Structure formats: structure tokens, C-alpha cells
Structure 1
Amino acid sequence: METLEHLQRRIATMRDLQSIVRTMKTLSSITIRRCERAAQAVRAYDETVDYGLQIVLRDKDVADAAIAASKAERKTGPVGLIVSGSDHGFCGRFNEVVLNAALENILSGRAENVALAAIGTRAAELLTGAGHTPDVVHATPGSVEGLRASTRNLLALADHWRTQRGIARLRIVHAVQTPETPARPVTMSLLPVSPAYLFHQANRTWPSRRLPTYTEERNIVLTSLIREHVFVRIFRALAEAQASEHASRLAATQSAEKGIRDRLAEMNGAFRLRRQEQITSEMLDVLAGATALNRR
């Protein structure tokens, strides 16, 4: 039977663990909100890029050439796949959900034609365990402020793949938070840009009667705008993935907190029972001693 001192130490340890879980839950809640705000804030920049593409694609020759090139690139060629996972644990099945979606993308085509990049060491380890070792492993953004640097690194990787390995099709697999689940897998095509999107921008009505002008060569402007369009999509994917990771961690901490609370109730009950037994035993010893003295 455990002593009172041992029970007290176990209860103190459990309370410390409860405090840690509560802190993790609070941090996850704050990070989810900040990631959601970051994803919303970049939408204004995305709209500006859309307006720029609308102006450039008003030229029918430029629009037709861009749409034709996009359709051609979508059919053939090797694929670059970015898998956004986690560097840290205690987030439920977040990494497994992303891994399953990544494996579906890999197996849908020829595995030898897929270049892999993993965001997060845990995602990289799972991919390696499944027989698909990533070519590149990036750390997950440490905070919302790190999303921009991570996005730039992935853009540089995309440029390297396109120039050195001839990769024209680029996708990113990540998880998003939904009302039904904290982690739902999503596969987003980054390159080539959707022909439907280009067609929509080329035929959309300008919101005012004044049209902007530009002095740079059209193809250069178009390339720069498409690059910024891809930048926005990667940024939003990373922000949504980080929010989903922390939503998964929040669900895990809530479950852990309930388990700790139930365990603490059991341990406190055992402590009270053991203490009552000890008090009763001491009182009986005192009573027995008093009885023995009275008999003398």
C-alpha cells in the first residue's frame, strides 16, 4: 500500500503536468487565432495580384499564350510535392493524415518522377518509413512571423526544381481545420497556374473606368505576378497548416486535461482514504494505550 508521502508526491507531479497541459492549450488557442488572421491578411495582397494579372491578361495574345502554356504543362512532366507536417508531437493524428494524402499523390503517378520536400522532421520521418525519402527537409515555421521566410524558401526550392530538374507541376499537401475535424488533408496545385483562373482574370470586368498602365515588358510583368500568386498560395497553405496543427494539439490537450482531472480525483480520493485509515489507526493505538494504563 502506498504511503501518504508517496501519494502526495504523485499528486504534486500530476498537478505540475496539469499546469503544463493548460499552458500548451492556451498557447495553441492563441496561435490558431494568429494564423487565421495571417491567412485573412494576405487575401488583400492576393486581390492586388489578381488586379495586376487582370491588366496584363487584357491583351488577348498574352492571355491565350499563358492559358495554352498552362494547359500543356498540366499534362506531362515530373511532379514536385511539398508535404507540410510538424516538428513537434502531441498533435494527435495530424502527421498521419498529411502522410496518407501525400502517399495518394505519390502513388497516383510514377514514384520516380516525384520530387519530395517535407516541412517538419516528423513528416520527413514518416515519409522515409513509408519508403519515400524526401529530397529536402525544411523546419516548420516557429511562429506566425516565420511564415514569410518559410514561403520564400519554398519559392526558391520551386525555382531550383524548375531549372535543374525540369519540374513544371508543383503541389503542396497540408491539413486545414474544419468544424468537423481539426485536420482535414488538402492537396493544392501551385504550378502551373490553373487555366480557368487565368481565363477568369482575362475576362473579368475592371471595377472602375480608369485602367492602370505599366512600362515593363509584358512577359516579365506576367512572370512576376504569377510568382507572387504562388507566394500567396504557399503562405496561406502554411498558415492553414499551422492552424490545423495547433487545433489538433488543442484537441489532444483537452483530452489529456480531462484524463488528468479524472486521475487527480482518483488520487485525491485514495489520499483521503489512506489518511483516514492512518488517523483511525493512530486513534486506536492511543485508545489501546489509555486502556492499558487504566488497567494498571
Structure 2
Amino acid sequence: MSQTIASLSRKIGTAGDLQSVVRTMKAVAASSIGQFESAVLALDDYHRAVQLGLVACLREMASPLVPAPAPRRENGPIAAVVFGSDLGLVGQFNDVMASFVVTTLADLPAQKTVWTVGERIRSRLRQTDLGLDKSFMLPGSIGAITALVGQILVALETLREQGAINQVYVFHNSPHAGAIYRPVCQRLLPLDQVWRRQLTAMAWPTQNLPEVMGGGAASLRAFVREYLFVSLFRACAESLASENASRLVAMQRAEKNIDELLEALRRSFHRLRQSGIDEELFDLVSGFEVQPRGRNILNNCSGPTEK
């Protein structure tokens, strides 16, 4: 009996420690969501401003100068940059992204190589037939995203100049109302005629026509660099916001399950403890009544007899 009670006591202690860890991770996830969601909202406005700058440059230039050091081939080699997570306890976050990447790339008839941001998503994709190349550490804060984006852009530009890649796709989870997040894919490169037509189709927000200062070609190059930078930056920020939202939901479920487990363990513990106390009292009373002296003491304790 004592061993069973001791075992339940250890389980209650372990569950209590796990509950503290879950609550801590829940608080961290909740506090992180705010900063990443604020960054995403700010990036939406900045991305819109960059797009309008590109629209102004493209409309002013008869033959827009879009960087194209590598030869264009319709089905050239593809580099896919996939954002996942470095840490676990995020539910199906990485599994959903891995399935989405495999399905999307299967429809693209070209040689493919995958770059991963996050160790967890890399371990998922390692189980597929996709070829994995570069791996990047996932930043833990907004300020660290800039360095990561810079590394990715430098590596992409190097391979494009060598003609090793022609197309670049970015995969990440994006916050979505009603579903926490959803996987999305963006074709980042090449900046071809399709990309140009999509931009020039945007309506200018005012009646005043824009004028590009300082030379259209130089301005266009600057806006293209900002476009690539903000696209990757926003993808990373949205992925981190989705990751923390998924972790928060997972921690809420875990907290509920632990609370239910602790309640069941405590009921079992109190029931076994009370059963043990009852058995000990029964044995004590039974043994006491067997002794003659015990019977006399019990009779004396029952009070004076009536004459």
C-alpha cells in the first residue's frame, strides 16, 4: 500500500513540474506573439510602399532594368527557402509545412534544392525525396531577422550569378483567421514580365502621378533590393508569429490535459490514503478488543452502569 501511495505521490510531483514548464512556455509564447504580429502589420505597410515605388519606376521606364545576371530558362533550377521551427511543442506546424512543400514542388518540372530555416522542418524534409542543401538558424527575435535575411540574399545572389539557380520560391506558415495559420508559397525570383505586369496593374492610391528622382535605373535597383529584403523578412516574421500561435494552442491543450491528470491522480491518492488509514484503524481496534485489558478499558470508557 505504501509503495502505491509513494508511486502516486511521485507522479503528482512530476505532473506538477511539467505543469510549471507548460505554463512558462505558454506565457513566453503569448508574449512573443504580440511583437511578431506587430512586426507583420508594420511590414505590410512597408511592403505596400515598396511596391508603389516599383510601380512608379516601372511605369516611367520604357525598358525597365531588372537585374538578370543569370540566363533565363523557362524551367531552370529551383531553390526553395522553407521556414519552420527550431523548437518542438508546436503541434502539426512542421508536418503541415513539409507536406505542403512536397506537394507544391512536385508540380514544378525542374531540378530542385531546398534550403531550410529551422532544424525541426529540416528533420521532417529529410524523410522525403527532396534534396536538402543549406541550413539556417531560426532567429529568436525581430532584431535577429535582418542578419538571417542578409545571409539568404547573399547566398541566392551568388548562386544566381553562377547560373546554379533560376527560380526562387519561399515557403512559410502565415497567420490566418479561424485556422491559426496556413502554409503559403511565394515566387520570389525571377523578376520577369509576369511579375512586372502584376505590379503595373496596381492602382495608384492618389490622383497625383509619381515622379522618380535621381534616375530611374538606380531607383529601380534600390527598390528591387528592398522588395527582396522585405519579402523574406515578412515571410520569417509571419512564420515566427504562426509558430508561437501554434505553440500557445498546444500549451493550452497540454495544460488542460495536465490539470485533468492531476485531478485524477489526487483523487486516487486520497482514496488510497483514506483506505490505508481505515485499514490501520480497523486493525488497531480489532487487536485492542481481543486483549482482556482492552475490553475492560472499553467498558470503563462506556460510562457508569445504572443501578
Task: Give the structure-2-normalised TM-score.
Answer: 0.84
Structure 1 residue aligned with 2:153: 155
Q: 1:124·1:133 contact (CA, 8 Å) conserved in 2?
A: no
Q: 1:84·1:119 contact (CA, 8 Å) conserved in 2?
A: yes
Letter in 2 for 1:274: L
From 242, 245, 256, give the equivalent of 1:244. 242
State the alpha-carbon separation in 1 of the partners of residues 251 and 205 from structure 2: 49
Aligned-residue identity in percent? 32
Letter in 2 for 1:30: S
Structure 2 residue aligned with 1:294: 294
State the alpha-carbon separation in 2 of the partners of residues 125 and 17 from structure 1: 26
Residues 105-124 of structure 1 aligned to structure 2 (within 5 Å):
105-110=104-109, 113-124=111-122
Letter in 1 for 2:284: V
Letter in 1 for 2:22: V
Q: 2:81·2:170 contact (CA, 8 Å) conserved in 1?
A: yes
Q: 1:82·1:171 contact (CA, 8 Å) conserved in 2?
A: yes
Q: 2:174·2:181 contact (CA, 8 Å) conserved in 1?
A: yes
- Structure (1 or 2) with the larger CA radius of gyration: 2
State the alpha-carbon separation in 2 of the partners of residues 49 and 178 from structure 1: 23
Structure 2 residue aligned with 1:104: 103
State the alpha-carbon separation in 2 of the partners of residues 178 and 54 from structure 1: 28
Structure 2 residue aligned with 1:187: 185
Partner of 1:58: helix, strand, or coil? helix
Partner of 1:183: helix, strand, or coil? strand
State the alpha-carbon separation in 2 of the partners of residues 285 and 10 from structure 1: 29
Distance apart, 1:214 and its partner CA: 2.5
Distance apart, 1:16 and its partner CA: 0.9
State the alpha-carbon separation in 2 of the partners of residues 74 and 230 from structure 1: 21
Change (3 A) 1:45 1:177: closer
Letter in 1 for 2:281: M
Q: 2:169·2:185 contact (CA, 8 Å) conserved in 1?
A: yes
Q: 1:74·1:192 contact (CA, 8 Å) conserved in 2?
A: no
Letter in 1 for 2:200: F
Letter in 2 for 1:294: G
State the alpha-carbon separation in 2 of the partners of residues 105 and 209 from structure 1: 41
Distance apart, 1:101 and its partner CA: 1.4
- 1:222-247 Cα deviation digits (max 9, x unpaired): 12211211211111111111111122
- 1:104-162 Cα deviation digits (max 9, x unpaired): 23222245x21221111121222222122311001111222222222222211221221
State the alpha-carbon separation in 2 of the partners of residues 139 and 205 from structure 1: 39
From 122, 128, 131, give the equivalent of 1:130. 128
Partner of 1:87: helix, strand, or coil? coil
Structure 2 residue aligned with 1:20: 21
Considering only aligned residues, what root-mean-square deviation do their CA atoms show, in Å? 2.4
Structure 2 residue aligned with 1:57: 58
Partner of 2:186: helix, strand, or coil? strand
Change (3 A) 1:133 1:121: farther
Task: Give the structure-1-normalised TM-score.
Answer: 0.87
Q: 2:47·2:227 contact (CA, 8 Å) conserved in 1?
A: yes
Q: 1:117·1:134 contact (CA, 8 Å) conserved in 2?
A: yes
State the alpha-carbon separation in 2 of the partners of residues 222 and 173 from structure 1: 26
Unaligned runs of 5+ residues in structure 2 are: 297-307
Structure 1 runs of 4+ aligned residues shifted over 6 Å read none
Q: 2:113·2:131 contact (CA, 8 Å) conserved in 1?
A: no
Unaligned runs of 5+ residues in structure 1 are: none
Give the total of aligned pairs. Answer: 287
Change (3 A) 1:161 1:7: same
State the alpha-carbon separation in 1 of the partners of residues 169 and 8 from structure 2: 54
State the alpha-carbon separation in 1 of the partners of residues 109 and 51 from structure 2: 34
